Amino acid sequence: MTSRPAETLAQRKRQLVADELTQAALTLLARDGFDAVTVDEIAAAAGVSKRTFFRYFASKEDVVVQFLAGMGAAMGEELAGRPAAESPSAALRATVWRSIDACAGHAERALPVVRLILRTPALLGRFLERQAQWREVLAQEVARRLRLDPVTNLYPQLAAGMALTAFHAVLQRWCDSDGAEDPAALTDQAFAVIAPALDAGAGADRARLPGHR
């Protein structure tokens, strides 16, 4: 009867330490550059030991990867919750916008991190790896929504890939402008380009389904 509250307290404490380490790491990395910051400096900024850092993260890169994992999870949740009758372009725009808006809504903290990721080769590589994983998740959800076979039909992969290309392009422009350009307007511009292909392609593939008229 007494173990559950103890576990909850321990989990909360662990999350608090992880959050402190993440905030300290992202602040230092964004300010001083990825190569210039050491694990010792991150641990000191968070008020913990180097050993404690390695209980939570295997490396500096892993701190940033955790940031990216949250972005991907948010997109997957958003697409899964979109109305079934919504067009593919509208559903995917809302999906991409959820993560872009999360960054833009906290630009003072998020913009330096996005800039760090896009301008550090090692982190950009991890970002692209994550996007490949997100593409699989989004493609599966697109296939489910449209009742398409993701193994034999190219549309789900292509649709997810186009959405993530738009996502990356918007982040890149936002970063290059140092936050001056409006992310919502950039997202609208990106989807204005790809929406016709997304919606026409979905219609063509659904028309080939057995029993579809």
Give me the helix-helix angle, 107-119 and 3-32, nearest 10°.
70
pLDDT on residue 41: 95
pLDDT on residue 7: 60
Lookup result for tokens 């290309």: 165
CATH topology of domain 1-57: Arc Repressor Mutant, subunit A (1.10.10)
pTM assigned to the model: 0.82
DSSP 37: -
CATH pick for 60-207 out of 1.10.357.10, 3.40.50.2000, 3.40.190.10, 3.40.640.10: 1.10.357.10
Interatomic CA distance for residues 92 and 124, integer angstroms? 23
Q: Which amino acid is at 25?
A: A
For Cα atoms 106, 109, 114, give the angle at the middle one, nearest 5 degrees.
95
Cβ neighbours, 10 Å, residue 69:
14
In 3-state terms the chain splits into helix, strand, coil percentages (rounded to 5) of 80, 0, 20
Domain limits of the chain? 1-57, 60-207
Q: What is the CA radius of gyration of the chain?
A: 20
Task: Give residues with Cβ within 8 angstroms of 11, minimum separation 6.
Answer: none
Task: Give residues with Cβ within 8 angstroms of 147, minimum separation 6.
Answer: 206, 209
pLDDT in tens, the chain (213 residues): 444 555 687 788 888 888 889 889 988 998 898 999 999 999 999 999 999 999 999 998 888 888 788 888 899 999 999 999 999 999 999 999 999 998 888 888 889 989 999 999 989 998 999 999 999 999 999 999 999 998 899 999 999 999 999 999 999 999 999 999 999 999 999 999 999 999 997 765 554 444 444
Interatomic CA distance for residues 116 and 110, integer angstroms? 10
Burial of 210 (0-12, 13-18, 19+ CB in 10 A): exposed
pLDDT on residue 141: 96
149: left (phi over 0), alpha (psi -120 to 50) or beta: beta
Concatenate the DSSP letters of all residues of 95-141 into one string: HHHHHHHHHHTTHHHHHHHHHHHHH-HHHHHHHHHHHHHHHHHHHHH
